[in-house]
Amino acid sequence: MTNKALLVVSFGTSYKETREKNIEHIEKILARKFPDRKFFHAYTSGMILKKLRERDHIIIPNVKEAMEDIVKEGFTDLLVQPTHIMNGVENDLMKADVLSFREHFSSLSFGAPLLTDTSDLFYVIDALTKELPALSEQEALVFMGHGSTHYANMLYGALDYAFKQTGHPHVYVGTVEAYPDLDAVLSLMEGKGYRHVYLAPLMLVAGDHASNDLAGEDEDSWKSIFQSRGYEATCILKGLGEYESICELYVRHALQAQPV
């Protein structure tokens, strides 16, 4: 029996289809990549875990519960790979929960979230632009990230800058809950002659934010706001976990993980 375990940690989603297409998709890829490790998973969102348990009777552990199971089964070598987009609040809390069990492991390693260093920005830009629509001078592509109060939120501005520096001037990055927000994106697009905008989530899953804040029919959704400004709007409801090349970057981060 192996003494090695793999723990894949996600924020989670209550949307069944996008959970299967994104989170479970990445989990399966990582599990296959590390056949010498027993697979475990966990979600960090208590709200989502509660909803899955009460509505769907699906039991997924939180990080501490998963760690208790790993310790109980006697594993002493643990690799933890988050599917988080950045090194934000959720990732910090996850690492703290895992490290509270440090004494039980002879080897404990963390893989990095998706966007951790500058090379990750350019990798993700290349991966996404190969699969999303080519843009005419009258078309723009706007990504919606979640946004955070964490200082790591600055990566969204860096990603926007990197898109333009790599020859994609019609691509913009905004967030739901931080800066750059939709107003900032709209101000940058003003006067550029765009008629049609593609809207896509810059999130692991195309869940609640993508379905409602991005593509919803309410007047305050991004789609509705763009339409009210005279743009044609097309939503691409595809989570990052559906892109094979994005999954490959998570695998690369897991392979590069160093013991703490």
The whole-angstrom separation of Cα 240 and Cα 202 is 7
On the 0-12 / 13-18 / 19+ scale of CB atoms within 10 A, 228 is exposed
Among candidate residues 84, 146, 170, 209, the one labeled active-site is: 146
The whole-angstrom separation of Cα 229 and Cα 218 is 15
Least Cα distance to 226 among 257, 254, 258, 200 occurs for 200
The whole-angstrom separation of Cα 176 and Cα 163 is 19
- Buried b / exposed e over 76-92, threshold 16 CB at 10 Å, is ebbbbbbbbbbbbebbe
Identify whether 146 is a catalytic site residue. yes
Any residues with CB less than 8 A from the CB of 188 and at least 6 apart, and which? Answer: 172
Using an 8 Å Cβ cutoff, are 22 and 205 in contact?
yes
Q: Which residue has the tokens 């899953």?
A: 205
First to last CA, the chain: 24
For the chain, the helix, strand and coil percentages under 3-state DSSP, each to the nearest 5: 45, 20, 35
Cis before 82? omega within 30: no
Residues designated as active site: 146
